[in-house]
């Protein structure tokens, strides 16, 4: 799993145009909740190698995060062909992430 969050990352039009399964993860490298969730996210993603994972640094004034109404980090948005299918906020267990992935893979 890529350890760095993209800044600025893709824009909403690019996300909406994506084909196939994508997990869009909003957070920040310094965020303790993000660091705590990373093992569960990594483990679940390893089971779904065909799913693209994009980590985007979020914060005040960041348009992409606001367009998805992200309030807490990490927030994982599970997309299929650009449409949100599921979301998980602050996952603590691998099963939470796996459930979202199974809906898009």
Assess if residue 48 is contained within a domain: yes
Assess if residue 3 is contained within a domain: no
| Stated pTM of the model | 0.93
% residues pLDDT > 70 (the chain): 97
Tokens 């906020």 — which residue? Answer: 89
From CA 48, how far away is CA 98, in angstroms rounded?
9
pLDDT per position as a tens digit, 28-58: 999 999 999 999 999 999 999 999 999 999 9
The number of domains in the chain is 1
Assess if residue 33 is contained within a domain: yes
Assess if residue 1 is contained within a domain: no
Residue 18 backbone phi and psi in degrees, to 5: -70, 145
Confidence of residue 68 (pLDDT cuts 50, 70, 90): very high
| pLDDT (0 to 100) of residue 60 | 87
Assess if residue 28 is contained within a domain: yes
The CATH code of the domain that includes 22 is 3.40.30.10
Assess if residue 6 is contained within a domain: no
List the domain range (segments joined by +) for residue 77: 12-104
Assess if residue 19 is contained within a domain: yes
**DSSP secondary structure code for residue 29 in this structure:** T
From CA 33, how far away is CA 23, in angstroms rounded?
18
């Amino acid at each position: 799993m890529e350890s760095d969050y993209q800044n600025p990352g893709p824009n909403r039009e690019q996300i909406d145009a994506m084909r196939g399964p994508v997990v869009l993860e909003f957070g920040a490298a310094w965020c303790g909740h993000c660091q705590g969730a990373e093992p569960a996210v990594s483990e679940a993603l390893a089971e779904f190698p065909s799913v693209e994972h994009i980590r985007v640094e979020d914060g005040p004034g960041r348009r992409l995060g606001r367009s998805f109404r992200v309030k807490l980090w990490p927030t994982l948005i599970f997309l299929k062909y650009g449409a949100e299918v599921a979301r998980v906020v602050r996952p603590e267990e691998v099963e939470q992430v796996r459930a979202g992935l199974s809906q898009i893979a």
